[in-house]
Amino acid sequence: CNLILRGNVTHCLRSQSYFLDNNTYLDSGPGTDEDAILMLLTSRSNDQRQQIKAAYKKSYGKELVSALKSELGGLFEDLIVALMTPPVSYDAAQLRKALKGAGTDDQVLIEILASRTSEQLKEIIKVYKKDCGGKLEKDICGDTSGHYRDLLVMLLQVQTHLAFLDNEKRGDD
């Protein structure tokens, strides 16, 4: 797939099934076609968006997200960056954001920890450690208390224990 960054215009050429057509321009400022950006990215799965991102980097040696960020702004930029982020990385970043600073965003903690599969939580824990530089369980314990903290920790432990059992059953490490 080919995405070409010309000045402040990202031009999308038709290639495979990822792109709209050879007249789709993605740029900002006067004439920004934010609808085309939105259509291009929301009509693809996250895996396809990751393939587009990788192909762009391979072809142009630049990060697509950086190019898009330089062209966009505000909440629309936030949305596009979120769409271009792998789900596990997005979840880890949201958990970190929910736990850092004053106060805790309990809605985020509950939504992510209670709704992800054991495999997803296992990956989130790995990515959290790698990207955020800490242990998710420790950070949760440091930011919450009482039965609520115990329940969140149990969700982490049960889900990761289930993932371990699933891997054992399959013979994975």
**Structure confidence at residue 157 as a pLDDT band (50, 70, 90):** confident
CA atoms within 13 A on the CB side of 60: 20
Domain 3-83, what architecture?
A: Orthogonal Bundle (1.10)
DSSP 5: E
Same fold, 3-83 and 87-170: yes
Cα 12 to Cα 26: distance, rounded to the nearest angstrom: 7
Own/partner pairs for 71-74, CB < 8 Å, 24+ apart? 71/8, 71/10, 71/26, 71/27, 71/28, 71/32, 72/28, 72/34, 72/37, 73/28
More confident residue, 38 or 23: 38
> pLDDT (tens digit, 9 = 90+) per residue, 31-76?
456 777 788 888 888 998 888 888 778 777 888 888 888 878 899 9
Cα 127 to Cα 121: distance, rounded to the nearest angstrom: 10
pTM, entire model = 0.73
Per-residue model confidence (pLDDT) at position 23: 33
Q: What contacts 73, CB < 8 A, 6 or more positions away?
A: 28
CA 65 to chain centre: 12
**pLDDT above 90 coverage of the chain, percent:** 41
Cα 80 to Cα 42: distance, rounded to the nearest angstrom: 9
CATH superfamily of 87-170: Annexin (1.10.220.10)
Domain positions in the chain? 3-83, 87-170
